[in-house]
Amino acid sequence: MPTSFQRARSEEQRAQRRQAILDTASAMLTEMPVAAVSLNELSRRVGLAKSNVLRYFESREAVLLELLDVAFREWLTQLAPDLADEIDPGAPVRERGDLVAAVLAASLAARPVLCDLAGAQAAVLERNVSPEVAAEYKRTAIRNALDFAALVRTHLPELSEEDSLRYAGAALMVSGAVWTHAHPSAAMLAAYEADPSLAVMRLDFGATVREMLEVTASGLLARRLPE
């Protein structure tokens, strides 16, 4: 049993212990997919008994939900200058819509941990947490979505606040869903190799997300812009 840590006595020590757990889990996600991150391995790497890890986080999923929030905030911080660099505010609105989609797709493709966590959010990460943890996560998720929508509207002011939030929600759901399909199981990869005609079902993450966000922006804009 891991014994390298002594019991945290102060609030500062507890905060440090909690951050160590998050940092260790974050490092694990650079080595393995979300599905492979286990509480046992996390405990071993952080140097705590599993029961002690559970003093700070009620479950593996609670750890990963917090990391999803951190990853999302980091992405938004970088996304703002990425969009500003690529998008000419004087360009036609449909061109700007396509550019926003392109920047988002490329930015998300460069952040596999964020996409993997987003893909696991509803089906896995939200399934083994208490109502209190679930509610706190949803509060932060709403704030994040509003910030994301405001950033989108900076470059597509033709969208209403409501439609920019729809776009932001679509971007988040699409990226998580497409990520899972763009990274098939070993059995599916073997099936594609054995029968190349099946490979038409394999998705390219960046290209698919870009196309779907272009269509979403076009549809939302078409409902607001005059013919």
DSSP assignment letter at 10: S
Distances from the Cα of 55 to the Cαs of 15, 29, 113, in angstroms?
12, 22, 25
The pLDDT score that the predictor gives to residue 49 is 93
The pLDDT score that the predictor gives to residue 2 is 46
The radius of gyration of the chain's CA atoms, rounded to the nearest angstrom, is 20
pTM: 0.88
Q: Which domains does the chain have, with CATH numbers?
A: 1-57 (1.10.10.60), 60-222 (1.10.357.10)
The pLDDT score that the predictor gives to residue 13 is 85
- In sequence order, the 6+-apart residues with CB closer than 8 A to the CB of 105 are 205, 206, 207, 209, 210, 213
Please list the rounded mean pLDDT of every run of 10 residues in the chain (227 residues). 54 90 96 95 95 95 97 97 96 96 97 95 93 95 96 96 96 94 91 90 94 96 74
Distances from the Cα of 33 to the Cαs of 59, 114, 121, 138, in angstroms?
17, 11, 13, 23
Element (H, E) at 78: helix 60-86
The pLDDT score that the predictor gives to residue 224 is 74
Answer for the pair 151, 73: CB distance below 8 angstroms, yes or no: no
